[in-house]
Structure 1
Amino acid sequence: MPQATSSQSTVSESEIEQAIQLGIARYFEGCRTRIPAFIDRHFHYPGAIETNRKALGWDMLRAPFNLLWAPVYALACLVKILVRHRAGPTWLYRLADHVPAGFTTQVQQHISDLILTDLLNDGRTGLLLEDYLVDALETVYSRHASEPVDRQRFTTLIEPLLADALSQYRITRTASADITNSISCTVLGAFAFQKFTPGGIGLGVVLASMLAKFMAARDFILGETIGGWYYSWFPPEPSLTTTAGVMVAIMAALAAIAALSGVISDPVQAATGLHRRRLNKLLDHLERDVSLSTQNSFRPKDQYVARILDMFDMIRSGLI
């Protein structure tokens, strides 16, 4: 943590550091006490409907692009982790670091604003953490003839950390939508087709096979009824064009639905404690980063879980 001010020699370094750590601890303790009310207000019904209503509009186009782009961004993040920990080439790290996370949807921005305003700043304007730090330091300085606390130094440190952490939190929205799609496809395949379809690709393969069977039976020389019986024993292989077309249609439909999937997934994640754990983790990382003056270390694992499910879907479907 940078020095709060050019204090006189009567104020020791240890007093300043102790006051800063006390202000940080008090601030984040207050943030954690606001988490349950924040979740109830914005992620349980009826708040979840209001939160995700922002998806109506351009998000219906942004969400499909984000879902398709998510594997590229997850790969870039993985490259950065490997390069950083294994001292790889710096050019590769810089290249991966410039890969964007995708379009920021209105729902993502809305939730980021809610976290910043309601959770981190308790509905106040300006940085509440800065107020805690200044109050703690002014308590120490009041015992000495020192100059006022320099707020600008805290703002310079805190604002980039908050911006990066909230950017990472927005990525979890895309990952959650992708995971919701995978689960929905699995349930739909199990109940509607008695098949294991762990994602859009698997569901597309099943529907392509059904479409190929229907078209073959319809054109069967002895009639559709006998054709249906015949192809139930000897199912035809769908053409590559049919399979690709059905997959594209399924993925497009799922991606469009993903824009509104939070109406279902947010209350479920709130009930199971996922939102609470994710927000607590966000605060834990922010507290550590502010205390140690490090770069943002909040890197949620949701996107990697989503990519593992995608990979399993491709393996199960025989594409890799």
Structure 2
Amino acid sequence: MCDFRFNAPHTHLPVDTPITMPTATSTEPTISEAEIEQAIRSGIERYFDGCRARVPAFIDRHFHYPGALETNRMALGWDMLRAPINLLWAPVYALACLIKILTPNRTGLMWLHGLANRVPAGFTTQVQQHISHLILVDLLNDGQDAPLLESHLVEALETVYERHASEPVDHQRFGKLAEPLVADALSQYRITRTASADITNSISCTVLGAFAFQKFTPGGIGLGVVLASMLAKTLAARDFILGETIGGWYYSWFPPEPTLATTASVMIAVMAALAAFAALSGVIFDPVQAAVGLHRRRLHKLLDHLQRDVTLSTQSSFRPKDQFVARILDTFDMIKSGLL
């Protein structure tokens, strides 16, 4: 028998089940490895072209109104607790990701790479789970129960088989082809939701500080410091020996330093409020991101990386930079607030 395996040097796909053809004495021609590889690549290209064609409708259905309300309504509930924890944990996970990037297979640092690899991304919120499910079912599988990529690969190979042999293609060999890659890519996409909420908080704090207090507050820490100073001034003016009015005038020229307890309490209250806002911010900012093209670019990037990983049988390469942008903004907020 002549065996042609998908994991041959030029095919790159991790499927070990051989394709068997008739014996050499058969009058039917054999299928060359090049034909198999071309059929597989053709099936992959058709599949991902179809996914990209579904992106605009997917965004309109789930990220524009009224779909954005349905997508984000699940934030009401336990997500109000998960979101604050995720925002606080995000810098730790971002550091772990940076360590993994800087220590790939380096002798002597494998222990550090392995340790960073075990750091969880945080709690998966109901909204994140819902959006991941929508991407998997609506975008990647076009609402079908069976994996659509598998169907495209089988269809492409059946076309090749029809030209050479009457043997059917074994569908089961493709069942696990892309599942790990898709799962990891969706996990990374969920992380971008947390990072996006964090970036939204930073922008909201900056706008609120500029218009409400005429201060530059690039994040929750900066806003907390400003509010703590205002609270300290109000409390000091109230207890001023010559009365609250004169005290307000005096402390406008000589503002009092808020105590550490006051600053910490106000910061905690501000961060809690921002976290609650982050859990529900998708209702407002998903349509905005859809309008400016952020959702489209993010989904196209996910599909581009998935196509490359499936074609070359590489590990998942989808690593959005949103979380690092969010951490840069957090660092700037701490520097501006004098904590760094």
TM-score (norm 1): 0.97
Q: 1:250-265 alignment to 2 at 5 Å? A: 250-265=270-285
Deviations, residues 34-58 of structure 1 (Å, cap 9, x unaligned): 0000000000111101100011111
Aligned to 1:211, the other structure's residue is in SS state helix
Q: 1:50 to 1:308 in 2, by over 3 A?
A: same
Shift of 1:240: 0.7
Which structure has more helix as a fraction of its residues?
A: 1
Write the letter of the residue equivalent to 1:259.
A
- Between the aligned partners of 2:167 and 2:219, the Cα distance in structure 1 is 62
Q: Is contact 1:82-1:88 (8 Å) kept?
A: no
Deviations, residues 220-258 of structure 1 (Å, cap 9, x unaligned): 111111100000000001011110110011001101111
| Identical columns (%) | 80
Shift of 1:265: 1.1
Residue 227 in 1 paired to residue 247 in 2? yes
Q: 1:25-174 alignment to 2 at 5 Å? A: 25-84=45-104, 89-145=109-165, 147-174=167-194
Q: Is contact 1:52-1:263 (8 Å) kept?
A: yes
Residue 194 in 1 paired to residue 207 in 2? no
Shift of 1:146: 5.8
Shift of 1:86: 5.4
Residue 16 in 1 paired to residue 29 in 2? no
Write the letter of the residue equivalent to 2:247.
G
Shift of 1:269: 0.5
Write the letter of the residue equivalent to 1:19.
A
Which residue is 2:27 aligned to? none
Which residue is 1:276 aligned to? 296
Q: Is contact 1:2-1:153 (8 Å) kept?
A: no
- Between the aligned partners of 1:48 and 1:140, the Cα distance in structure 2 is 44
Which residue is 1:295 aligned to? 315
Q: CA RMSD in A?
A: 1.2
Write the letter of the residue equivalent to 1:217.
A
Moved more, 143-152 or 235-244: 143-152
- Between the aligned partners of 1:111 and 1:211, the Cα distance in structure 2 is 41
Deviations, residues 146-192 of structure 1 (Å, cap 9, x unaligned): 64323333222211111100010000100011011111100000000
Which residue is 2:202 aligned to? 182
Aligned to 1:157, the other structure's residue is in SS state coil
Residue 267 in 1 paired to residue 300 in 2? no
Write the letter of the residue equivalent to 1:39.
I
- Between the aligned partners of 1:79 and 1:144, the Cα distance in structure 2 is 51
Residue 245 in 1 paired to residue 265 in 2? yes
Aligned to 2:143, the other structure's residue is in SS state coil
Aligned to 1:143, the other structure's residue is in SS state helix
Aligned to 2:20, the other structure's residue is in SS state coil
Q: Is contact 1:54-1:106 (8 Å) kept?
A: yes
- Between the aligned partners of 2:64 and 2:32, the Cα distance in structure 1 is 48
Q: 1:153 to 1:295 in 2, by over 3 A?
A: farther
- Higher-Rg member (1/2): 2
Deviations, residues 272-306 of structure 1 (Å, cap 9, x unaligned): 00000000000000000000011111000110011
Write the letter of the residue equivalent to 1:17.
E
TM-score (norm 2): 0.92
Q: Is contact 1:5-1:147 (8 Å) kept?
A: no
Deviations, residues 189-220 of structure 1 (Å, cap 9, x unaligned): 00000000000000000000000000110111
Shift of 1:142: 1.3
Write the letter of the residue equivalent to 1:203.
L
Which residue is 2:19 aligned to? 6
Shift of 1:126: 1.8
Shift of 1:85: 7.0
Deviations, residues 106-145 of structure 1 (Å, cap 9, x unaligned): 0000000000000000000021000000000011011222
Write the letter of the residue equivalent to 1:307.
R
Q: Is contact 1:270-1:276 (8 Å) kept?
A: yes
Residue 214 in 1 paired to residue 240 in 2? no
Shift of 1:7: 2.6
